Chains A and B, each alone.
Chain A
Amino acid sequence: AQSVAQPEDQVNVAEGNPLTVKCTYSVSGNPYLFWYVQYPNRGLQFLLKYITGDNLVKGSYGFEAEFNKSQTSFHLKKPSALVSDSALYFCAVRENSGNTPLVFGKGTRLSVIA
């Protein structure tokens, strides 16, 4: 069975500093990995995905994520955080074969302090 772990419920970072939101996953085969962001009272917005190829994936709003197969991780990063990045971030995984559903982590609340 697929699973995703986001070990931090909350991440606090000062504006202008780099940020990292952690995600580890478990699948039987090869993964498709996704990051979504949820702003208050809004639906989830797609940020980026890893399908295959380059382990460093670039996405919306300056975010990027690094796929690490040996560590089964897909951490979300941004070189310089903005106050407007404050939101709830979800990592999600599905297997790249068959019709398996997308499984989400519990989410990490990012708070960027001015």
Chain B
Amino acid sequence: DSGVTQTPKHLITATGQRVTLRCSPRSGDLSVYWYQQSLDQGLQFLIQYYNGEERAKGNILERFSAQQFPDLHSELNLSSLELGDSALYFCASSAERSSYNEQFFGPGTRLTVL
């Protein structure tokens, strides 16, 4: 158990809908990362937050947004969902005082868009 929790485990929704994925980092970790894992694209970095502020952006679509709250949990919002958004979404956390800190991954949320 990495100490990172994600809810829900599974999410099934329809095209055009909006969903929110939630992540709680390991105790004491200030950085939260979001990744999308799909069969054709592999593991893609979406966005990073550090202590409530956006720190780095990767291949995140404009339909997607995220935030990190004062208690350090994070939410990833996916809107106007398309079939191609079906994937595993992982959250990871790290202490991130230095860029050599390893990231600890949650179990993921499997999103299915029908």
Contacts and interface: CB of A to CB of B under 8 A. Distances in A.
Interface of A: 32, 34, 36, 41-46, 49, 51, 90, 94-107
A107 B56 CA distance: 23
A43 B42 contact: no
A91 to B, nearest CB: 11
Interface residues of B, number: 21
Interface of B: 2, 4, 33, 42-43, 45, 48, 55-56, 58, 90, 92, 99-100, 102-108
B55 A103 contact: no
Contacts, number: 55
25 contacts: A32-B99, A42-B108, A43-B105, A43-B107, A43-B108, A44-B90, A44-B92, A46-B102, A46-B104, A90-B43, A95-B99, A96-B99, A96-B100, A97-B99, A99-B55, A99-B56, A100-B56, A100-B99, A102-B45, A102-B103, A104-B42, A104-B43, A105-B42, A106-B42, A107-B43
